[in-house]
Structure 1
Amino acid sequence: MQKDKTHPRLQGNQRLYQVVARQIAKLIEQNATDKSWRMPSERELADELSVSRPVVREAVIALEMRGIVEVRGRAGIIVLANRPSQVSFDVAERDIGPGPFELLEARLAIESSAAALAAERATNYDILVLEECIAQMEQETEVVLLQEKGDRDFHMTIARMTNNAIIVSMIEALWAQRDESLMWKKLHEHIHAESVRPLWIGDHHAIVSALRMRHPDAAYKAMARHIRNVTNELLEADERGRIVTE
């Protein structure tokens, strides 16, 4: 029987990744004295705990930030010897908010619909501004991921193209949460920027092409494809061996 993986993101006052992080930490301590035990992969943990892989990835990143495990590319999840015995999610911690994949899920819903609406209202000037944003992205090869001005300006330009102040404020809030999230920063340490930039820039060109044609459905699909590509890269980067941990 296939296990149900449709858990809500919130469990009482706790986010699901926090609950799962505690379960993984408990699993580690239960097997601490077993020399033959190995840490399960994220796929195995998702199956064992009946949750999605994005939730497991968020939980593992939370544990990594607390010095319990370390993710080492193809070596997988390594349990650290000098780890704390308890997992704390004190309200004072800055990463208590939504996990990275929860934010991406929200962006998928909101920004895809915003792109469709923008396609109906796009002007030639808007298209020129978006092309300038991509040109800036292409020049930001030395900029650390998450600090690229061209990328943020591109998405916020599309938000403003909707001429809807509520949509603009919602998308601004999502990007602000991303920028403030310590989990986002930790997760992006696992990304090889030179490998993903061409893919993501290509996604942005596809979005502009759909907007230039004033085609709402194509714009929706192009934006959704881009955000799914970001999600997949963040989820699969370690398995592809793109992280360097020396």
Structure 2
Amino acid sequence: MSNVTRLYQKIGTKIMEQIAAGEYKVGDKLPPERDIAEQLQVSRSVIREALIMLEIKELVEVKKGSGVYVINTPSTFLNQASLQPTEKVTGQSESDEDDAGPFEMLQARQLLESHIAEFAATQVTKHEIFRLREALELERKDLEAGSNDYDGDQMFHIVIAEATQNSVLSDMVKDMWERRNRSLMWQQLHERISDQDYRKRWLADHERIFKALVRKDPVAAREAMWQHLENVKQTLFELSDVDDPSFDGYLFSSYPVTLSQSE
């Protein structure tokens, strides 16, 4: 077993140990995420990521509306070279050790990109405004065509980072998108989601961010970006839920600093 560094990997390893010890046998249904989260004293988002990890390893199978079932034991997995995770998707992918959990990644983006949008509102030029319009139009066309491409989405976020005129910040955002695009965890999460209507809501979020940037309103830009990525987290969590169609609140604490003094 490789060194485990990420929280979801530690939890995933704990569940693997429970399967190996016979607490859960092949064919058994795992307890609901909420129960596992309470047992292991972590958030449901971490449990979701741990189960995605076990899906990639082909130790469990997710049945929408039913639950998560054990389909292999860890010893079976380790003895089957054909179950290498990189065979499940084409192209270069993150290794197990390097792959950040999708909700952990979104939290990092939320913290970083909300402040990037705030700063970008003070630095944005007509050129970036034009490019943001192009990104929104590309996003609309992809939605109308029923495309699964996220090119317009990616372009929108990267152009905002570039609007800061700070290459370090733009490189950080580009790196997060590159990690997302090659992430096995992210791809496995999206395999659970069939309804793409949520992307229309994300486009509306982008339009609110764009208007704040056009007005050069840093507070509004920060708040709009923060809320957008909160919406992304909540939507992906809801749509990928297999245990309970209801959602029990924010995945993470809301913004730790008061954004405005007015009520």
Structure-1 residue corresponding to 2:81: none
* TM value normalised by structure 2: 0.77
Are the aligned partners of 2:26 and 2:73 in contact in 1 as well (CA < 8 Å)? no
Task: Report SS of the residue matched to 1:71.
Answer: strand
Structure-1 residue corresponding to 2:47: 56
Structure 1 pair 34–133 and aligned structure 2 pair: CA distance change class (3 A):
closer
Are the aligned partners of 2:66 and 2:242 in contact in 1 as well (CA < 8 Å)? no
For residues 24-173 of structure 1, the aligned pairs below 5 Å read: 24-29=15-20, 30-32=22-24, 38-80=29-71, 82-85=72-75, 94-97=95-98, 98-141=100-143, 142-144=146-148, 147-173=149-175
The residue type equivalent to 2:23 in the other structure is N
Structure-2 residue corresponding to 1:5: none
Q: Which runs of 5+ in 1 are unaligned?
A: 1-11, 242-246
Task: Report SS of the residue matched to 1:14.
Answer: coil
Are the aligned partners of 2:19 and 2:74 in contact in 1 as well (CA < 8 Å)? no
The residue type equivalent to 1:24 in the other structure is I
Structure-1 residue corresponding to 2:11: 20
Question: Within 1, Cα distance between the matches of 2:176 and 2:14?
Answer: 28
Q: Deviations over 1:71-105 (max 9, x none)?
A: 2221121222x4443677x9x97232222122112
Are the aligned partners of 2:4 and 2:97 in contact in 1 as well (CA < 8 Å)? no
Question: Within 2, Cα distance between the matches of 1:193 and 1:127?
Answer: 31
Structure-2 residue corresponding to 1:6: none
Root-mean-square deviation (CA, aligned residues, Å) is 2.5
Give how far 1:62 is off. Answer: 0.4
The residue type equivalent to 1:108 in the other structure is Q
Structure 1 pair 32–157 and aligned structure 2 pair: CA distance change class (3 A):
closer
Question: Within 2, Cα distance between the matches of 1:172 and 1:34?
Answer: 41
Question: Within 2, Cα distance between the matches of 1:21 and 1:85?
Answer: 15
| Number of aligned residues | 224
Question: Within 2, Cα distance between the matches of 1:31 and 1:206?
Answer: 49
Task: Report SS of the residue matched to 1:70.
Answer: strand
Q: Deviations over 1:198-236 (max 9, x none)?
A: 111111111111111111111111111111111112222
Are the aligned partners of 1:67 and 1:84 in contact in 2 as well (CA < 8 Å)? no
Are the aligned partners of 1:71 and 1:238 in contact in 2 as well (CA < 8 Å)? no
* TM value normalised by structure 1: 0.82
Are the aligned partners of 2:8 and 2:47 in contact in 1 as well (CA < 8 Å)? yes
Structure 1 segments of 4+ aligned residues over 4 angstroms from their partners: none
Are the aligned partners of 1:68 and 1:84 in contact in 2 as well (CA < 8 Å)? yes
Question: Within 2, Cα distance between the matches of 1:96 and 1:232?
Answer: 26
Structure 1 pair 17–133 and aligned structure 2 pair: CA distance change class (3 A):
same
Task: Report SS of the residue matched to 2:232.
Answer: helix
Question: Within 1, Cα distance between the matches of 2:26 and 2:181?
Answer: 40
